């Protein structure tokens, strides 16, 4: 199933770039922002706070924006005794395409989109060794390409600043869901126009 999802998303990006060949793209550094959210990873991991930063890179075609971002979160699980305590962290470098749905007469811009991210997962364990009578730490890490899907809305709060809220679902070795809010500072007017 995950292979089918990955093929679908890759096809979406290829079609987006082919279609944009005949239309005026407005690519460039359009804005920068920050985000904060609640990440719900499941798999016995506690819900946690995630944060990150993003760069608005303009539009491929009208209403189809591209964005680059970096995000981080870490969560853990604590056993009642001295064994099996562990933590899990994710640093993600994401590329996202968002389709902005224009609403006539409304400043709110809902959007939906998706993208691909390189995730660096780190996994630390602390186990009690009865022979040494000490806690011993073990570490592992991996790099994974994972897809994400999101939906949200953006609202201009000044000519150059917009606030947003979005929900994101990441599909991969560790699926997780997040709810984020943040702001974007645009170099032009709100929305990067």
For the chain, give the DSSP string: -HHHHHHHHHHHHHHHHHHHTTS--EEEEEEEEEEEEEEE--TTPPPEEEEEEEEEEEEEETTEEEEEEEEEEEEEE--SSSS-EEEEEEEEEEEEEEEE---TT-S-EEEEEEEEEEEEEEEEEEEEETTTTEEEEEEEEEEEEEEEEEEEEEEESSSSEEEEEEEEEEESSS-EEEEEEEEEEESSSTT--
Q: List the CATH number of the domain containing 154.
A: 2.40.160.20
Full-model pTM: 0.75
Q: Which residue has the higher pLDDT, 183 or 3?
A: 183
- The answer as to whether 193 is a domain residue is no
Q: 131 lies in a domain? A: yes
pLDDT for residue 50 is more than 80? yes
- pLDDT, residue 45, reads 75
Q: Does 150 map to a domain?
A: yes
- Domain hosting 134: range is 2-186
Is 32 inside a domain boundary? yes
Is 115 within the bounds of a domain? yes
Q: What is the pLDDT of residues 111-160, one digit of tens each?
A: 999 999 999 888 777 666 677 776 666 677 788 889 999 999 999 999 89
What pLDDT, in 10s, does the model give residues 70-106? 999 988 766 555 555 667 889 999 999 999 998 888 8
User: In the chain, how many domains are there?
Assistant: 1
Residue 191: inside a domain, yes or no? no
Is residue 192 over pLDDT 60? no
Q: Is residue 148 part of a domain?
A: yes
The answer to whether position 192 is within a domain reads no
């Amino acid at each position: 199933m995950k292979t089918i999802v990955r093929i679908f998303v890759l096809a979406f990006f290829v079609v987006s770039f082919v279609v944009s060949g005949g239309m005026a793209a407005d690519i460039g550094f359009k804005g920068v922002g920050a985000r904060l959210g609640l990440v719900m990873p499941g798999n016995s991991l506690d819900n946690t706070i995630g944060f990150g930063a993003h760069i608005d890179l303009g539009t491929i075609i009208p209403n189809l924006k591209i964005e680059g971002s970096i995000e981080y979160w870490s969560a853990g699980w604590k056993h009642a005794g001295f064994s099996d305590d562990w933590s899990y962290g994710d640093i993600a470098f994401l590329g996202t395409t968002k389709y902005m749905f224009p609403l006539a007469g409304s400043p709110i811009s809902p959007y939906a989109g998706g993208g691909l991210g390189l995730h660096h997962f780190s996994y630390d364990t602390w186990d009690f060794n009865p022979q040494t009578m000490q806690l011993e730490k073990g570490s592992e890490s991996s790099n994974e390409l994972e897809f994400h899907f999101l939906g949200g809305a953006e609202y201009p709060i000044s000519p150059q600043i917009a606030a947003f809220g979005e929900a994101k679902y990441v599909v991969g070795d560790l699926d997780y869901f997040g709810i984020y809010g943040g702001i974007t500072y645009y170099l032009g007017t709100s929305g990067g126009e």
